[in-house]
Amino acid sequence: MRLLDKTILVLLFSALFITGLSSVIQYYWVKTKIENRVDRKLLREKKLIKEQLKGIHPQDGFNYSTERASVKFSINNNTIQTDSLFYDKVLDKDGEKTNYRILLTWVSVEEQDFRVEIRKEVEETNTFIQSIFLTFLLTLFSVFLFFLILKYFLLKNTWAPFFETLALLKNSDFQSHPIRFNHNIQIKEFKDLNAELNILAEKVYTEFQSQKTFTENINHELMTPLSIIKGKLELIIQSENLDEQDLKLVSDIFITIDRLTKLNKSLVLLSKIDNHQFEEKVAVNLPELIADIVNLFEDQIRAKNLKIRKQFESETTREMNEMLAYVLFSNLIKNAIFHNLDDGGFIHIILTDKKCEIINSGKNSGLNPKNIFDRFVKESTSEDSIGLGLSIVSKICELNTIEIQYEQTDAAHTIRLVL
């Protein structure tokens, strides 16, 4: 729900409550006032009647009754009762029920008791309620109308800077550009907000940039010494004074440097993915890419006597970074080959518009499907580990909003990418 809609709704409900409450109070207040006046009139009438009853004897067969009052002799002399005021509906001449305020009282004149009932029509009350209700509706309607206009005005004026800020926040890439929020605003809170956002945006930008340079620098700084070590070793092995054992030692160093290099490259790649440094995207032709990668591993496939079945149901292309697409699929296909049976296994690659499945035969690896993709980096330094490769895979998927699933049945492992 929008901020202003919510505000207006709260205001509207408050208005409804207050006008409703005031209408009720108004009704009872005015009603009491009118009642008091009517009652006073009735009591005055009672006095008048009392005056008129002087000198009238019961023997005269007195029985007076009009629309407004009726007077009777009371037979029970001793039961003088107090006045009672109440409402009652009385059928009038036209056969319609009319609301009356009635004063029932006993009057004692010259030792004679009379039962006196004085009536006063109070038809006005209904009209009165009606008019109060109408006023209530009218007020409510005008309040509603007023709020609509108010909302429009607030949107256009008061809250406009806020929505501008919000739009800028939504549509900006804070990491690659320094974003400036307008601080030329009259409203203090919005001005403060934008000032704070400017500080934050500046911080995000500079920190990202320095992180980026740091990553690049570290890469550079490590690669040059590694080049030197590698180069010097290559020079050493050209020497004719080395025996087999020496060469074996050098070879071990080569292998270690290789691991170090690849580990470093993987870590740099991970941080580059984290830093969104693979933004250039093209439409990658997935069938072509997969076929290329399978070709690259033809030796390994032949050696393990693997049956490759490619089932490409469409010319699927996907917008993603070319390099990352290559890294993603080469890692997955490599795993499917290396963690396959030693002889006569299979790899089944199914590609449709919606998903890519790589199913391979293999031993029961005991891998937990739940945490297979977020293994700790440390594990991956061992030679046959797949940890870092899969971390990279899951990072790339995350970046491209590809869902990745892993399933294992008795003899088949399935990696499914939901494209």
Partner 1 sequence: MKILIVEDDQELLRTMLKYFDSFGYLCEKARTVARAKSQLLEHTYDCVVLDLNLPDGNGLEIFQTLKQTPQKTGVLILSAKDSLADKLDGLELGADDYLTKPFHLAELNARVKSIVRRNQFKGNDIVEFNEIKIDTTANEVLVNDEMIKLTKKEYELLLFLMSNSNRIVTKQSLSDHIWGDFIELYDSYDYIYSHLKNLRKKILEKGGKDYIKTVYGIGYKFSANDELKKGK
Write out the H or E segment, with its range, that includes residue 118. Answer: strand 112-121
Helix (H/G/I), strand (E/B), else coil: 228: helix
Nearer to partner 1, 26 or 219 (CB): 219
CA distance 296 to 298: 6
Q: Supply the minimum distance, in Å, between the C-beta of residue 325 and partner 1.
A: 12
Q: Supply the minimum distance, in Å, between the C-beta of residue 240 and partner 1.
A: 7
Question: Are residues 205 and 178 in contact, defined by beta-carbon separation less than 8 angstroms?
Answer: yes
Q: Supply the minimum distance, in Å, between the C-beta of residue 248 and partner 1.
A: 4
Question: In what order do the strands lie in the sheet containing 69-73?
Answer: 64-65, 69-73, 112-121, 97-109, 84-91
Nearer to partner 1, 141 or 376 (CB): 376
240 binds partner 1 (CB under 8 A): yes
Residue type, 341: L
What string marks each residue from 357 to 396 as x (binds partner 1 by CB under 8 A) or -? --------------------------xx----x-------
CA distance 248 to 99: 119
Nearer to partner 1, 78 or 238 (CB): 238
234 binds partner 1 (CB under 8 A): yes
Q: Supply the minimum distance, in Å, between the C-beta of residue 237 and partner 1.
A: 5
CA distances from 362 to 119, 307, 358 (A): 103, 13, 12
∠ CA 66-70-72 to the nearest 5 degrees? 135
Residue keyed to tokens 């007195």: 62
Nearer to partner 1, 117 or 216 (CB): 216
Question: Is the Cα torsion angle 275, 280, 282, 286 positive or negative in sign?
Answer: negative
Written as six digits, the tokens of 6 are: 């919510």
Task: Tell me the window of 113-121, 175-183, 298-306, 409-417 that interacts with partner 1 (CB under 8 A).
Answer: 298-306
227 binds partner 1 (CB under 8 A): yes
Candidate list 51, 60, 94, 280; residue touching partner 1; CB under 8 A = 280
Q: Supply the minimum distance, in Å, between the C-beta of residue 413 and partner 1.
A: 19
Candidate list 160, 226, 341, 412; residue touching partner 1; CB under 8 A = 226
Residue keyed to tokens 């800028």: 168
Residue keyed to tokens 């080469």: 330
- Per CB under 8 A, contacts with partner 1 among 55-74 are none
- Per CB under 8 A, contacts with partner 1 among 330-349 are 330-331, 334
Among the listed residues 356, 361, 390, the one whose alpha carbon sits nearest the alpha carbon of residue 287 = 356
Measured in whole angstroms, how far is the alpha carbon of residue 414 from the centre of its chain? Answer: 35
Among the listed residues 302, 286, 294, 409, the one whose alpha carbon sits nearest the alpha carbon of residue 345 = 302
50 binds partner 1 (CB under 8 A): no
270 binds partner 1 (CB under 8 A): no
243 binds partner 1 (CB under 8 A): yes
Question: Are residues 322 and 282 in contact, defined by beta-carbon separation less than 8 angstroms?
Answer: yes
Candidate list 9, 10, 138, 296; residue touching partner 1; CB under 8 A = 296
Residues in contact with partner 1 by the rule CB under 8 A: 216, 219-221, 223-224, 226-232, 234-235, 237-238, 240, 242-244, 247-248, 250-251, 254-255, 257-258, 261-262, 265, 268, 277, 280, 296, 299-300, 303, 322-323, 327, 330-331, 334, 383-384, 389
